Amino acid sequence: MIQLKSIFPYLIGTLFFIFGNILNIEDVPSKIIYKYVGLALFLTIFTSFASILFAKKEEIISHLGKIFLAIIYIVVPFTLMVQIPFLNTSFNYVNTTILGVFILIWTNDTFAFLVGKSIGKRKLFERISPNKTIEGFFGGMVFTFIASFLLAEKFTTLSVIQWIVIAAIVSVFGVLGDLIESMFKRQAGVKDSSNFIPGHGGFLDRFDSVIFAAPFIFIYLQFVQ
């Protein structure tokens, strides 16, 4: 969408993801790899800045902005998302935590669409996404809270209060992430973020809600564990 042809976002993104998650591996070599990955990450970021010396003057800020937009908007959320299953009292990997997050997001998206389609009249943010309505937003929120109570009974690693707070985060920041991705697509003049999933939009179209909600869920669970 941003038509960035530089290889640096891919290198920085891959190294950042490895750097952020490699300590979850418990063997000794991971500590050594961590140092080398950190060094490679630093050198790659430094090189990306040095590369602007060869760019046209009017492209410098745009080039760097696109690189770090891609990193902050995509790489950081996915790195933190992988950490979410470890944020519990035992700090062991618990797959039901991240599964529950996705269930809440799917619930919010589904019922926001159904309620908005059925009784939605007032636009939520017409300039960015004309199909989203205020009624759909609150409808999705109500059903997401209901789903959080059901999850609390089945996925007991987190408490009822924690699931309710996560439901609130998903309801607000998930929708915000959806709107922001819609804004990016409007700026780029495209309907889908890519052709990666034919008929369902691009990769970001499927993950726009969790991309924005995951960092806030990560921060919340960091404070309550």
What is the per-residue pLDDT across 185-217, written as a single tens digit (0 to 9) for each? 676 666 666 666 555 556 666 677 888 888 899
Name the residue type at position 24. Answer: N
Give the Cα separation of 198 and 41 in Å (integer). 34
What pLDDT is attached to residue 102?
92
Is 209 in contact with 167 (CB distance < 8 Å)? no
- Per-residue pLDDT tens over the stretch 46-59: 777 777 666 666 56
Is the pLDDT at 26 greater than 60? The verdict is no
More confident residue, 181 or 77: 77
Q: Which pLDDT score is estimated for 24?
A: 60
Strand partners, 125: 129
Percent of the chain beyond pLDDT 90? 18
Residue 153 confidence class, pLDDT cut points 50, 70, 90: very high
pLDDT score recorded for residue 55:
65
Q: For position 149, what pLDDT does the model report?
A: 94
Q: Which H/E stretch holds residue 167?
A: helix 160-169
Question: What are the pLDDT digits (tens) for 123-139?
Answer: 877 777 777 888 888 99
In the predicted model, is pLDDT for residue 28 greater than 60? no
Report whether pLDDT(165) > 90: yes
Mean pLDDT computed over 160-171: 94
Q: By three-state DSSP, how is residue 124 classified?
A: strand
Q: Average pLDDT in the 8-31 region?
A: 69
3-state helix, strand, coil in the chain (%, to 5): 75, 5, 20
pTM: 0.78
Domain residue spans in the chain? 1-84, 87-225
Contact 185, 191 (CB under 8 A): yes
Dihedral in degrees, nearest 10, Cα atoms 59, 65, 69, 71: 90
